[in-house]
Amino acid sequence: MTNRQTGSRADIYARITERIVADLEKGVRPWVQPWQSGSANGRVTRPLRHNGQPYTGLNVLLLWSEGMARGFASSIWMTFRQASELGAHVRKGEGGSTVVYASRFTKTEVDAHGGEVERDIPFLKAYTVFNCDQIEGLPEQYYRRPEPPADPIQRIEHADRFFASTRAVIRHGGTKAFFSPSSDHVQMPPFETFRDAASYYAVLGHECIHWAGASHRLDRDLSRYHKDRSERAREELVADIGASFLCADLGIVPEMEPRPDHASYVESWLRVLQGDRKAIFQAAAHAQRAVAYLHELQPQAEIQREAA
């Protein structure tokens, strides 16, 4: 095996190990979903190939990490070519995920005595796959989801109207709630996986506060969110306060879902507040501006502006 092959193999192991360690340091066990799963008893299902065959070994951890980090709901993955053969296509701009194929081949060599000997040579090949959530035009069976619980929680109509009126792009699937600035969308776990409706809308409100802060809306500086723990703590404080304001405005009293990141956020919030006496005031002001912005997007706000 060449040094390049050895290095490539080491890089893949290092990347997966680092991701698992990072999840554990945040209090997240990457083999258990942070939201409940109605049909899988809280466990992540094994990733599947396009033909239904389950992945094994390292690829299981790799695709679990990718799926959870990127909010994919589907457990099925395939190559670009496999999608094309099924008459489907990967959405423009979607990035693939790396999986590896480990095997060995037999090579015949001449030994020191001139005789032929066979030697097994292991090799590792990396290739790219896409989740079904990234692919359009697949046969219907690839998009089937588990049946919802027998007694699903009821949606809150006026809250649905409120968030729909913001025109934020809200996608559902996977196990994580987040706002993605690069694609300008809010990702939410499925509604039925929350303990109750109020918890769902509280988390959605939290992510919409992030959404409101984007550069082409309120222009709250989010550029250092992933680089500076202090800046991340400040932004999460804004979103948490803003979500509380929204819930009060909507008449919702949530018993918040225990998000896996909250323990670490609480610790970082304490450090920020202890080091900056103005931090809580600034956070509350930003939160209020974000909530006001979301209210301004409602139909009644437009009617009031026209009347004025």
Q: Where are the beta strands (DSSP E) in the chain?
A: 77-78, 89-90, 97-110, 116-131, 135-136, 169-172, 178-180, 185-188
- Considering the domain architecture, whether residues 27 and 128 belong to the same structural domain is answered as yes
Residues 108 and 208 in one domain: no
48-82 pLDDT, tens digit per residue, is 899 988 887 667 767 877 887 788 888 899 999 99
Instruction: Tell me which of 30 and 167 has the higher pLDDT.
Output: 167
Cβ-based neighbours of 239, under 8 Å, separated by 6 or more: 206, 207, 209, 210, 287
pLDDT digits (tens, 9 = 90+) for 164-191: 999 999 999 888 899 999 999 999 999 9
Report CA torsion sign: 256, 280, 167, 71.
negative
Q: Is 146 helix (H, G, I), strand (E, B) or coil?
A: coil
Four-CA torsion 242, 244, 249, 251, nearest 10 degrees: 160
Do the domain assignments include residue 260? yes
List the domain range (segments joined by +) for residue 183: 159-307
256 pLDDT above the threshold of 50: no
Global pTM reads 0.57
Whether residue 150 is contained in a domain is answered as no
Number of domains in the chain: 2
pLDDT digits (tens, 9 = 90+) for 128-147: 999 999 999 999 989 876 55
Residue 98 inside a domain? The answer is yes
Q: How far apart are CA 95 and CA 251, in angstroms?
A: 40
